[in-house]
Amino acid sequence: MPVYIAIDLGAESGRVMLATLEHGRLELDEIHRFTNGPLRLRGTLRWDVARLWEEIKVGLRKVALRNLPIASLSVDSWALDYVLLRRHEPLLRLPYNYRDARTDQTYGEARQRATNERIFNQTGVQFMPINTLYHLLADLKTDPGLLESADHFLLIGDWFHFLFSGRIAQEQSNASTTQLFNPLSREWSEELIGFFGLPRHIFPPVVPSCSRLGPLLDEVAEETGLGTGVEVVAGCTHDTGAAVAAVPAEEGARWAYLSSGTWSLIGVELAEPLINQAACHANFTNEIGCGGSIRFLKNIAGLWILQECRRAWSNQGNEISYEMLTQMAAAAVPLRSLVNPNDPRFLRPGGMVEKVQAFCRESAQPIPETPGEIARCVFESLALLYGQVLETIERLTSAPIEVLHIVGGGSKNALLNQFAANATGRQVLAGPVEATAIGNALLQAITLGHLESLTALRKVVRDSFSISAFTPADSAHWQAARQRFELLST
């Protein structure tokens, strides 16, 4: 009965999960949950990774008290952000948050120096100012000595693997998000590294998904009480890679996935990267998944907009749970006001309620005033964006999509799921909610030889967790809304 520890780090919270695989079924037990979020420090946005490390160890001590035979542990996290380290210094500074505004300038400058086509042909990655490339260029511009003096940079999840195992390695699914990795050669893009003058020595070795990194370091084993013999595994360190691995899709079905959370990542699985002019102009991305598969997807605004609105209401003394917001949204007038969730104004934190209202005012729509009206506006706009992206995927891949699998935290929102079915005109299958932690654990099982393949992994998911189905409805009203949305998003 293999037992695994899945450490799942998200932009709002982190969890230490215990996973048990027995008779083809997986059971998850949340051992420790802790908050996460941007740390505001002298006009910058950072991540307090030292506190996260302490919280993770709290969770591991709780696991140790259960006295179970732990086979392995693995970390997944958001992508893009990185820690700089040097020799015996595991943390040269608190890492920047991807939403920090320091890339506003380097994002434009880099695309002027090198054409979009040149960068896309090398990396197949969507253009966003949050990408690792533009943060490294910001370092090069403002503090080149620090970057030059570092031995390596490691993305967040891989840095925690380094703390656990002592091994410096960048897992492929994570590396492929940076816009500095070539998904065809499966190596760092020497062309772009040289062109932008980045110090080559800081780029760590890359390992494929489902790699053994080595045993848990003695000092960590002793401090947490886990003891020796626990293997540190890099499954898919990028949380989206882990979540997509856990999509409960049937073999041969015509399906797309939506990993729904702070971000919405919507796409399909391909055998090879799709890097051409049409994909570049549509601003899609090619990220590497389990077994070298390609996650051809669009990274779009997710529940971040509503999360920021909720934070603003909370600061005003109006605490509203997500459940209550959803109930308020259900009672609001349908399809009254829409926004383009990908509008650049929504990328940065702060003033989100006013930003939503300003968008509606500028586009001559009714201005949403109440939390319920704003929540409904966000939910409906996201659903319409899902439909728009699915149609683009079908055009780019020349393959029809019949089913949309929604996984992650957003999949438990039945109202949003129904809107997604209505807006896309496709059946929506929602769940599992804990797809990232499930994928994390079952990728460990593949690594250790307890499961044979990704197909076997997905059967375990189908056999272990319930899935909710949503059928399209109210097609006439949503068709009219699609036409309105097209005008707002051009």
Same domain, 65 and 145: yes
The alpha carbon of residue 412 and the mean position of all alpha carbons in its chain are separated, in whole angstroms, by 17
Same domain, 126 and 200: yes
Are 233 and 70 in contact by the 8 Å Cβ rule? The answer is: no
Residue 437 in any domain: the answer is: no
Cα–Cα distances in Å, from 341 out to 349, 381, 394?
A: 14, 7, 21
Q: What is the CATH number of the domain that holds 159?
A: 3.30.420.40
Mean pLDDT, to the nearest integer, of 287-300?
A: 94
Q: Is residue 439 assigned to a domain?
A: no
Q: How confident is the model at residue 40 (pLDDT cuts 50, 70, 90)?
A: very high
CB 411 within 8 A of CB 430: yes
In tens, the pLDDT along 315-359 reads: 999 999 999 999 999 999 999 999 999 999 999 999 999 999 999
Q: Is residue 68 part of a domain?
A: yes
Q: Do residues 408 and 431 lie in contact, with contact meaning Cβ atoms separated by under 8 Å?
A: no
Cβ atoms within 10 Å, residue 91: 15
In a domain, 253, yes or no: yes
What is the token pair recorded at 132? Answer: 């690792």
pTM over 0.75: yes
Residue, of 300 and 55, whose pLDDT is higher: 55
Confirm whether 399 is domain-assigned.
yes
Residue 203 and residue 283 in one domain: no
Among 212, 238, 264, the domain boundary falls at 238
Domain count, the chain: 2
* 8 A C-beta contact, residue 426 and residue 404: yes
Q: Say if residue 307's pLDDT is above 90.
A: yes
The per-residue pLDDT for 301 is 86
pLDDT of residue 126: 97
Predicted pLDDT of residue 116: 95
Using the 3D structure, point to which of 238, 262, 284 is the last residue of a domain: 238
| Whole-number Å distance between alpha carbons of 175 and 204 | 10
Residue finishing a domain among 187, 204, 238: 238
Q: What is the pLDDT of residues 360-385, one digit of tens each?
A: 999 999 999 999 999 999 999 999 99
The pLDDT, as a whole number, for residue 1 is 84
Residue 443 located in a structural domain = no
Instruction: Give SS3 for 39.
Output: strand
Q: Give the domain extent around 414.
A: 247-431+452-490
Q: What is the pLDDT of residues 228-268, one digit of tens each?
A: 899 999 999 999 999 999 999 998 889 999 999 999 999 99
Q: Return the pLDDT at 251.
A: 85
Q: Using one digit for the tens of pLDDT, what is the confidence trace for 72-84?
A: 999 999 999 999 9
| Residues 191 and 294 placed together within one structural domain of the fold | no
The model's confidence at residue 225, banded by pLDDT at 50, 70 and 90, is very high
- Alpha-carbon distance of 213 to 162, in angstroms, equals 9
Q: Say what the pLDDT of residue 490 is.
A: 73
Residue 309 sits in the same domain as residue 416 = yes
User: Do 317 and 339 belong together in one domain?
Assistant: yes
Mean pLDDT of 120-130: 97
pLDDT tens digits, residue range 380-408? Answer: 999 999 999 999 999 999 999 999 999 99
Please choose, from the candidates 211, 108, 224, 102, the residue with its C-alpha nearest in 3D space to the C-alpha of residue 167: 211
Pair (276, 329) in one structural domain: yes
The rounded mean pLDDT for the chain is: 96
Whether 10 has a pLDDT exceeding 90, the answer reads yes
Q: How far is CA 119 from the centre of its chain?
A: 22
39, 264, 372 from 14: Cα distances, Å: 15, 18, 28
My answer on whether 182 and 314 are in the same domain is no
**444 domain-assigned:** no
In which element (H, E) is residue 155 found?
Answer: strand 152-155
Residues 232 and 338 in one domain: no
Query: By C-alpha distance, which of 124, 170, 378 is closest to 267?
Result: 124
Do 320 and 461 fall into the same domain?
A: yes
What's the pLDDT at 343?
95
Tell me whether residue 259 is in a domain: yes
Residues 234 and 251 in one domain: no
Is residue 167 located within the same domain as residue 285? no
Percent of the chain with pLDDT over 90: 96
**Token digits of residue 139:** 């370092």
- Selected catalytic residue, list 239, 343, 463, 474: 239
Span 410-428, pLDDT tens digits? 999 999 999 999 999 999 9
Active site residue 239: yes
